Amino acid sequence: MNESPAGEDTTAPQDGGTKTRETENKGHVAEFTAVAVPEIIVRWNQELAPTLRDGIVEHGTLDRAELLNELPSLWPTVDAALARVGPGSLVTESVRHDSYEGWQVAALPRYDLDGGIELRYRRDGAPQPRDRRALVQALVDAVAERPCLDLRDALNMLDVFAGIFPPGLDAVCRWLLGQDLRHGLATGMTPLHDALDRRARGRVSATCYQESAVGSRKAKGDPATDNEDAAGALRSPSGTVRCAVFDGVTGDGDKSGAKASRAALDQATRRWLLDDDLPPQELVAELDAAVGRATDGSAAAVLATVRPDGTASVVSVGDAEAWLVRPLHTSQRSDEPHRRARGRELSYAAWKLTPAHTGYAELLRVNPDAEGEESALVNFLGGGPGRWTHSTVALAPGDLLLLASDGATQPEREHWFGATLAELAAQLDASGRPPAPALAAALVQRAEALGGWDNATALVCEIGEAKDV
């Protein structure tokens, strides 16, 4: 393999071999040329474990669903590799896993023109951007349907396939790329993993707040039907809270989107009043049939059922979204989980719980260069929902469970929406306002500030500790 002119080793680890990495001359020395390109051979002093993707996809050394639970034991190994070999020594194939031995990191040293290992200019072994990108690509590559092409491809898949990928993987990857990790990955990743692992210790309560507004650029002068979103929540006698957001698909002036979202909400409310849990496929079928009876229009939907035991069931069809916003540290006052802990401002993390059912998502499944079709729904209520998704989420006091139409989750250029949610929650908490209702209002106001191109609806369910009755 060849080394780049700048001296950057672009070699991928290969299985097997001996310890040394050397330049070998085959036959006689070539005549003098203006550009000297060495032949680089990589040999390893031990057998390499399968790459993370091969281990999960082909060998079953690790289950996709368990990936996040195993990551805390990966980071010390990465720290050790970077400390020994130097920053900038990771590629996607460096991350490996064996079912018996666990994690392995195959790190590639950087060499100078005399064949010696270059001295590290960061003695702490903190990961460079190259290392961070390699880790993110390795994690996404391991869980995606197809191999990950590059960092851009990895981030696109994280955004589109959240809810299909292990929940929280988007937060882990964004943390890897943006967090200060000067003290190493094991230390730097701990706050996020602690938050990801948090669970309710007892029964929880749930209180819902919602805000909705017509986008100024979408208003047609009919307040009754301009807003094609519909949302609602209901608490049952058993203490279970059910909530939903429906986003009507705009028709050609026939108000079909508004009719579709309202028909879906009416049917959901009737089902909620019965206080029983339908299997997700039956619930989606009922909602789809209700929309079909009411109109030729269609709607995207996201629904959540929050149970007193601290679990939530989330069902989505289309591009309506669910997010979990969680404080990184628990409050010292358990009766007020959303308040600041004695002057210490809480910081938050957020991760997406639902995928997008769009034409772009279907293209991205097979093509890393997919373009367009980002707003064209391929699954929706009305005319047969096609693909829908269902997941179960473990909640904890202090959590904010967000259900929103796509108008309220519009991303800003080069800024991940999960970071926007975390920043908003921290700012609102620091201001002394109750985060749940303030977050719902802030998201609707933000949508208008970004241009008011769509209706915006945000329903935020605040999770607290259940009071003894």
pLDDT of residue 252: 62
Q: What is the pLDDT of residues 284-337, one digit of tens each?
A: 999 999 999 999 999 999 999 999 999 999 999 999 999 999 999 865 333 444
**pLDDT on residue 27:** 55
User: What's the confidence (pLDDT) of residue 332?
Assistant: 34
| Residue 227, burial from CB neighbour count under 10 angstroms (0-12, 13-18, 19+) | buried
| Predicted pLDDT at 251 | 66
Q: Sorting pLDDT into bands at 50, 70 and 90, what band is 241?
A: very high
- Across the strands, what pairs with 381? 299
Mean pLDDT in residue range 194-216: 96
CATH architecture of 21-197: Orthogonal Bundle (1.10)
pLDDT at 340 over 90: no
For every residue of 28-73, DSSP letters joined together read: SPPPP-SS---BEEE--SSPPPPBHHHIIIII-SS-GGGHHHHHHH
Q: Are 398 and 463 within 8 A, CB to CB?
A: yes
Split at pLDDT 50, 70, 90, the class of 122 is: low
CATH among 3.60.40.10, 2.130.10.10, 3.40.190.10, 1.20.1250.20 for 204-465: 3.60.40.10
364-378 pLDDT per residue, tens: 999 999 887 667 899
pLDDT of residue 4: 40
pLDDT tens for residues 246-267?
999 876 667 899 999 999 999 9
Q: Look at residue 46 in the predicted model and tell me its pLDDT.
A: 87
Q: At what angle do helices 256-273 and 280-294 cross, to 10 degrees?
A: 140
Residue 95 main-chain phi, psi, to 5 deg: -85, 120
The percent of residues in the chain predicted with pLDDT above 70, rounded, is: 87
Is the pLDDT higher at 344 or at 371? Answer: 371
21-197 and 204-465 share one fold: no
In single-letter form, the type of residue at position 191 comes to P
Average pLDDT over residues 388-413: 95
For position 244, what pLDDT does the model report?
98
Q: Distance between CA atoms of 176 and 171, rounded to whole angstroms?
A: 9
**Predicted confidence (pLDDT) at residue 1 exceeds the cutoff of 70:** no
pLDDT value of residue 43 = 85
| Residue-averaged pLDDT of the chain | 87
Domain extents in the chain? 21-197, 204-465
